[in-house]
Structures are given as C-alpha cells and as structure tokens.
Amino acid sequence: MTVREGAARLGDALRRPVSLVHPRRRTAGPEGPPLGARDAVVACGVYRQGERDPHPHGFDAALRTVRAGRDSFLWLGLYEPSEDDLAAVAATFGLHPLAVEDASQKHDRPKLERYDDTLFAVLKTIRYVDHDKVSTAAEIVETGQIMVFLGRDFVVTVRHGAHGELQTLRARLEARPQLLARGPAIVLHAIADHIVDDYLKVAGLMETDIDALENSVFDHRTRFPDAGAVYLLKREVVEFKHAVLPLAAPLRVLADPDGAAGLVPSDVRSYFRDVEDHLHRVTEQIAGFDDLLGSLLQATLAQVSVAQNQDMRKISAWVAIAAVPTATAGIYGMNFEHMPELRQVWGYPAALAFMVTVSVLLYGVFKRNGWL
C-alpha cells in the first residue's frame, strides 16, 4: 500500500461516524484539580497503546501516570481557558511562557512554532453560516481557533470559538486504537485533517453562493444587480483566504523529515503530506473565487452604469419630444398681433397637428435607436 493510499484510508477512518461518545465531564481522581470544577477542561484522557484508561485523572496526576509508564500519552482538551487555567496547565506540562501567552490571545493567522521539546500550532476553524440569500446575510463564514501543544508524551488542545468542537473527533479516534497507538502526533494530524476537510465543505457551499450570485448579476430581468452582495461575498472569501493560506507553511514543516524531528514520527509525517494536498485544493478554489468575484464586482458596477445610461437616454428622449409642443405653445402664447395664421380658422388645428406630427416622428426615431 502506498503512502497516499494509507493517508486516504486514515482520513476515511477518521470521518466515519461511530457510536462511541464519552461524557463531557468526568470526576477527578484523588490528586489534581477536579475535572468540571472549571469549564475550561472539557476532556482529559490517558492512552496506553491506543486504548484509553477508563479511570479518571486530574491532568497533573494523569501526566505523572503517563511518564511512569511506556507507550502512553495524555490528551487534555481545554475550551476558552482563562489565564489562570493556562498558567496551571503550563506549570504542569512545562510549557514555554511565550506559547502560553499566545494561547490566551486571538490570532489572525495559523502558525507553527517550536519551543524546546514542544510544538505549538495555531489552526483556524471555519464555519459556514446558513442564510437564505447572500444579500440578506450578515456574514457567510465564521472563524474560530484551535491551538495545539504537542510534546513527546502529551497533547494539549485549546479551542476558541463556538464551533470546531473535538468531542466527535476524539470519539472516532478512540474507536480506532491502532491510530492512537502512533502517539500524540496522530492527534495533531487528525485535528488538521478535520479542519481542512471542513475547509473543503465550506468552499463547496460558498461556490453555490457564488454561482447563484453570478446568475443574478447576468439575469436580463435584473436592471440593477446588488453590488453590496457581491462585495460581502468577496470580503468573506478574503477572510476565508486569510485562514487557509498561512496553514500551508506549518503543514510543510510537519511533513518535512527535518521540520519537527523527534516530535512527529516518520510514519505520521506522510499523513501530513496528504493533508497538505487537500489544503492545496482549497487554496486553488479560494484563489478562483477571489478572481471570479473581482470580475463579478466589476461586471456589476458596469451593469449599474449601463442601466443608469439607459435611464438617462430615456429621460433625454422624452425631454426632446416634450420640447416641440412646449416651444410651439410658447411661441403662440406671446399674443403678438402680427403672427402667421392667427386669424385663420384652421390655424389652431394646424398648430396642434404640427406638434403631434413632430412628436410622433421624434418618438419613432428614438424608438428605432433604442433610446425608448
């Protein structure tokens, strides 16, 4: 089996639904802070050769258990922790202060940094916001963050944002212990693969929005296309791009044999290359979206300009037609004594016939030229 086939099978395994779901909170052991005492701690599990220890632990006791044995690691999950929560975790796991400071802040771009024997990764999550029409939507995509501390025998995940939960992913991994037996690096891969798969789904949904917007712009029944909707979608694509494009460099480092030596095993690095390929597909889609929406915005403004010119031509044509009877009535309303045909019986009908005839001729000319 080739590396690409193995990576594809791993991705399929992680995406298949399973019925194994662990409770959100567990009771603490005799040592360490009780899980659930702080909302920040959502999960804490010890995995030995891929199998989860059924006994609950506080994270400090769990780390001592892991380091007292072999072929095991700890996965601690945090959700929007406070600075005090992060300080307690940092003291237990020996995390670098700069990485802990970064984990408490919101980042605009994904990144990967190494601090001694710990990798710190920032990944951006994307959620598609459901809406009826682009023109009525406040936003199309919503971003969040997942930060990962990866050590030799632990992985700490810190999630920010209302979406991007990892409970389902954790259950899928726990249902396949042969994957977790590869060590904590496989958790980082699973998270990155899950996030990039979400990118692909969001890109597909945004493509549907762009197609619908494109059809409305070039619909002959639409006189004034909605330039605001085009701009909104382009702005959301730019936000999507800022979340996706910078992730290419961290994935390249994780897939490089020399990029994360000692923390990412060689058999896991090949899987990161598969995630990198998927990310490349998303990047190409987003670049196409950006170019298409740029052209669509220009076309929309051109359509509006053309519609305005058409209105001005119609107004000008009607003004020209109205000028004939206005001028004729103005001249004959001067009440001079010596004016042609004033005292003729047919003078008044002749003036009316002249005004109607010239107006009809002008209307025909403007109609033939497309002004009316």
Please write the tens of the pLDDT for every residue from 25-65. 333 333 334 434 346 888 898 999 889 988 777 888 888 88
pTM summary value: 0.73
**Which of 171, 199, 167, 228 is closest to 42 using CA atoms?**
167
pLDDT tops 80 at residue 215 = yes
Residue 36 burial (CB count, 10 A): 15
The residues spanned by each domain of the chain are 3-303, 312-368
Q: Are 37 and 7 a contacting pair, CB within 8 Å?
A: no
Which of left, alpha, beta for 133 (phi over 0: left; psi -120 to 50: alpha)?
A: beta
- CATH class of the 3-303 domain in this structure: alpha beta
Over residues 240-298, the pLDDT tens digits come to 999 999 999 999 999 887 766 678 888 888 889 899 999 999 999 999 999 988 888 88
Give dist(CA 109, CA 280) in Å, integer.
17
Q: Which pLDDT value is given to residue 338? A: 57
Give dist(CA 172, CA 232) in Å, integer.
37
Between 212 and 31, name the one with better pLDDT: 212
CA 222 to chain centre: 28
> φ, ψ for residue 161 (rounded to 5)?
110, 155
Residue 11 neighbours by CB under 8 Å, 6+ apart:
193, 197, 274
Over residues 308-356, the pLDDT tens digits come to 777 787 888 888 778 878 877 776 666 656 566 666 767 777 777 887 8
Q: Which pLDDT value is given to residue 26? A: 37
What architecture (CATH level 2) is domain 312-368? Up-down Bundle (1.20)
Q: Which pLDDT value is given to residue 341? A: 65
- DSSP letter assigned to residue 27: -
Over residues 96-135, the pLDDT tens digits come to 999 898 888 777 689 999 998 899 999 999 999 998 888 7
